[in-house]
Amino acid sequence: MRRIHDSLITLGLLMIALISAACTMPVARAEIVSITIKGGDHTFDAPPELPAGPVSLNFENVGHEVHHVQLVALNEGVTTEQVMAALQQGATALFPLLRGLPGGVGPLDPGKSGRVTVTLTAGNYLLLCFLQNQQGVPHLALGMVAPLTVKGEMPTNQSEPASVGTVRLINFSFVLPQAVKAGKQTWKIVNEGTQPHEITLIKLAAGKTLADLAAFNQNPQGAPPFANIGGFQGIDPRASGWLHLDLTPGTYVAMCHIPDAASGKAHHELGMMLPFTVQ
C-alpha cells in the first residue's frame, strides 16, 4: 500500500509540473501575411483576396511616374462605380461611402519600393492611386484601381512589428521619434486626431532648402528638389499601423495631403508639415 501511495504522490506531482509548464509556455502568435503590390502606369498588380488580420504591404513602383497605394474599406453594398462617381465631386465626397481608411504606402519615385503593415478586417476594399499625371488627371481615373476582398475572422494573439518609436498624427501636426538615425527601422503610426491623417515623406536633394520646396509647390516646373520616399497613407482616427523605412542621412519633410472636411484645404496647409534631419 505504501508503494501505491508513493506512486500516486509522484504521479500527482508530475501532473502539477506538466500543468505549470503548459501555463508558462509562450502562446503562439499569428504570423503577419506579406504580399507584394506592383504599381505601373496605370494599373495595380495585387492579390485579389486576403485573410483578415495584419498584413505587410510591399509596394513596388514599376511605372515611369510617381505612384502610391491607398487602401479604402467600402461600406456594404458600395460598388467601384459609385466610388468613381463620388470622386468626380472631390476626395471628400468619397468618405460617406467608406467604412474606413486602413492605410497604404506613400508616394514613391519610379523604381522605388516601400513597405507598411496594416490590419484588415473582413469586407471589400479598393486599392487607389490619387496622384495626378502632368495633365492633372488622377491616376485612378486612368485605371489605377483594383478590388480586394478580405475574408475570415480576425486572428487572436496578433503579432506586432517591433518599432523604434511612435509617430503621433494630430490635428494638425506630427510628433516624430526623437533623434532619427539612418538605417533600417520601423515606426508605429498612431492617429490621435479626429480626422483621417497620413504621413508622406520626401527627402530634399543635396543643397536644396525648404524655400526651394515652397517655390516648386507654387510653380511645379522642371525637376523637383526632392525625392519621394514613401510613407504611411491615410488612416482613421484612433487607428494605428507600422511604417518600415531604410533612411539615409539628410533633410526630410513629413506632410499630410488629406483635405480638411471643413475648409477643403490640405492638412499641410493647416500646419501638418514637419522638416526633420536624419543623421
Domains and CATH numbers, the chain: 160-279 (2.60.40.420)
Maximum Cα–Cα distance for the chain, whole Å?
Answer: 97
Q: What is the dihedral of CA 222, 105, 267, 144, to 10 degrees?
A: 70
Q: Which residues pair with 278 in a beta bridge?
A: 250
pLDDT digits (tens, 9 = 90+) for 190-224: 999 999 999 999 999 999 999 999 999 889 888 99
pTM of the model: 0.87
Q: Please report the pLDDT score of residue 95 as a whole number.
A: 86
Q: Which residue has the higher pLDDT, 89 or 122?
A: 122
Number of other residues whose CB lies within 10 A of the CB of residue 71: 25
User: Which whole number is the average pLDDT over 104-119?
Assistant: 98
**Residue 91: predicted pLDDT:** 77
pLDDT at 220: 87
Q: Per residue, what are the HEC states of 106-161? A: EEECCCCEEEEEEEECCEEEEEECCCECCCCCEHHHHCCEEEEEEECCCCCCECCC
Q: What is the mean pLDDT of residues 179-187?
A: 96
Asked if residue 53 has pLDDT above 50, the reply is yes
